[in-house]
Amino acid sequence: MSKQIEAVEVVEVVPEFYKKLKMTERPAVTSNSEFTILGDFCQILHLHLKPGQGVQVEPGVMCYMSEKCKEKVRLAGIGRMLSEGTLMKGTFENQGTEEGYIGLTPNLPGNIVALNLSNMGGSLKAKRDAFMAAVDTKCQIRLTHLAAASCVGCCCADAPFFMQEIRAEGWVFLNAHGTVMQRELDAGEEIVVEGSSLVACSSSVTCDAVYSGSCGVICCGGEGMFNTALKGPGLVVLSSMPIEKLRSLFPQPKERSNPKNKPKKDVR
């Protein structure tokens, strides 16, 4: 005899100190009428596509799609290339007469971050390798930089100076690694972060460089000489395991010449 499975309501537990800091964790699973994010790690973005509706994607992120979805490829533009994006960009369109779907996965292992740019003035700044997809097929990605509050912030802030400016309407999907946190900064409010942890921020957020501490801290603390101070107003999105840290854990091996593989000299 089969037992009926009862629905269990999961209550989000947020520590009290996070509430005071106004820091919130982005939910791992998100669902609405337009899309669903599935999985806890290496997630899948399931998008519902109406007839004639399309989605702009980075090459290689398609996992599955309905039969009538077709892909088109075109040049991405100089601005996208200069921001270390891809040379080409793809668009999947539902060319059928019924609702279709497409499943997308990031090219790098991690989680998917959904942001509605219609609520953020139509643009945001994101680090390279972060952009995955946008429901706006006319989404534009250009080379930009964090607005620095001083020359020191321009040259020495730990955050990447050059970033991607994403301009679109509606939902944009980024990929991040580890636990993803966000905070909405008030005007003039600051937060000090480790620069590589920054995934994205509102275009109105400015940055500056601050010393990480004394000479002992700078030399032996492991945080370098400067940290990054981000000043509001605007949204700041952070990740606990940025791709830069992952890459440093797995350095590329140096090529070593093997004497055994060298061709023998002809002594005749």
Residue type, 225: M
**Taking residues 21-35, what's their average pLDDT?**
77
Band of residue 1 on the pLDDT scale cut at 50, 70, 90: very low
- In this structure, what are the phi and psi dihedrals at residue 65, rounded to the nearest 5 degrees? -165, 165
Overall residue count recorded for the chain in this entry: 268
Q: In the prediction, which pLDDT does 194 show? A: 86
Q: In the prediction, which pLDDT does 142 show? A: 86
Fold of 22-241: Double-stranded beta-helix (3.60.160)
Residue 105 and residue 99 in contact, taking contact as beta carbons nearer than 8 Å:
no
Q: Is 156 left (phi over 0), alpha (psi -120 to 50) or beta?
A: alpha
Chain position carrying tokens 């429901």? 135
How far apart are the C-alpha atoms of 102 and 91, rounded to whole Å?
11
Instruction: Locate 143 and state its tokens.
Output: 């080379």
DSSP E strands: which ranges in 61-117? 62-65, 69-75, 88-94, 100-104, 111-116
- List the one residue out of 102, 79, 105 whose CA is nearest residue 92: 102
Give percent of the chain above pLDDT 90.
37
Question: Tell me: the pLDDT tens digits for 143-179?
Answer: 887 776 665 555 555 666 678 899 999 999 999 988 8
Q: In the prediction, which pLDDT does 2 show? A: 44
Q: In the prediction, which pLDDT does 10 show? A: 44
Question: Tell me: the pLDDT tens digits for 228-267?
Answer: 889 989 999 999 988 777 777 777 776 655 555 555 555 5
Report yes or no on whether pTM surpasses 0.85: no
Residue 135, Cβ neighbours under 10 Å: how many? 22
